[in-house]
Structure 1
Amino acid sequence: MNIRKKTISITSPGVVAATALLLTVSPVQASSVGEALYMQHCSVCHQPGGKGIPGFFPPLADNTRVNSDDAATIQKYLRRVIFGYHGGLIVDNQMYSGRMPPIGYVGRLNDSELLNLINYQRSAWGSNARAITFTELAKARKAGSLK
């Protein structure tokens, strides 16, 4: 059996170009922990400005479900963030078919990080919804995923 190892020199053109790119691109500076978590876990699908991607991922900006003060609506939203969501979703008469990963599932984000992320979404893009509490988050986690 002939096994060949392939080595990559740190001076190869591809590695040098990738390193130069990483060193020259300045990272987006988040103004809060919640914003940094949003940029890391949510912005690819829901976009940095919270506008979503039509037909796939709903907007979070100006979304009445995200900013609601109704206890049942808050619980439903929290459960989607914690456990993910698969299946169609209608927001403002628009169908969305993207899959929501379980952002708050055990091992991904702790409850403090999750609250920072959710409360960023509820206060970003001109919204000023009240902050979600640890008690509300614990209740949603205990209730389990949406069926």
Structure 2
Amino acid sequence: MRKRGSKRCGIAAALSLSALLVAGAGGAQAAEEGEALFNQHCAVCHQPGGVGAPGLAPALASLLGKRVSAPGGREYLPRVLLGGLSGAIVAGGEKFNGMMLPFPQLHDEQLAALSHYLLGTLNKDTLAADFAPLTAADFAAWRGKPASSAENRKLRTQLDAAGQ
């Protein structure tokens, strides 16, 4: 049974996170929150630190920066986190054929924080120097029109071909 005040605490926490991100509290805090979200929602498949699990889930570390930096790549992460990804892919020279479920239950601010960790921490060496961090507004823009997991796989293929 839920305590009466727990909903208010959750709302207060979400507003606090939003205020920190909007106020520019810095990429470090966003990345810290993002790492906690990654460990809670993503690490079970992609493993802590985004190193991947052979045959199950590809590595995310050092592989996303180039993709999102390619022309049209800025929309890749919002689309995948909100619409999922399925089908055959190649990542780091290894073949995968599975399904990543979307995360529509995460708020736009949480998705932005997660992207700070994924891109600013795990992919900082492969991300274009002029890449502007994804914001809650980037995720909100895609929330109302999520692409299918198959469309996201097609975009991934196009971005990988453009980045080579």
TM-score normalised by length of structure 2: 0.60
How far did 1:101 drift? 1.2
CA contact under 8 A between 1:88 and 1:98: conserved in structure 2? yes
The aligned residue for residue 41 of structure 1 is: 41
**Residue of structure 2 aligned with 1:127, choices 124, 129, 137:** 124
Counterpart CA distance in 2 for 1:85 and 1:70 is 19
The aligned residue for residue 74 of structure 1 is: 74
Query: Where has structure 1 moved over 3 Å in runs of 4 or more?
Result: 64-67
Gaps of 5+ in 2: 1-30, 152-164
Give the structure with the larger strand fraction. 2
Give the structure with the larger helix fraction. 2
Report which stretch shifted further, 36-45 or 59-68.
59-68
TM-score normalised by length of structure 1: 0.66
What is the identity percentage for the equivalent residue pairs of Structure 1 and Structure 2?
Answer: 30
Gaps of 5+ in 1: 1-30
Larger radius of gyration: 1
Paired residue type of 1:121 = L
Counterpart CA distance in 2 for 1:114 and 1:66 is 20
Counterpart CA distance in 2 for 1:66 and 1:142 is 26
Q: Which has the higher contact order (CA 8 A, sep 6+)?
A: 2
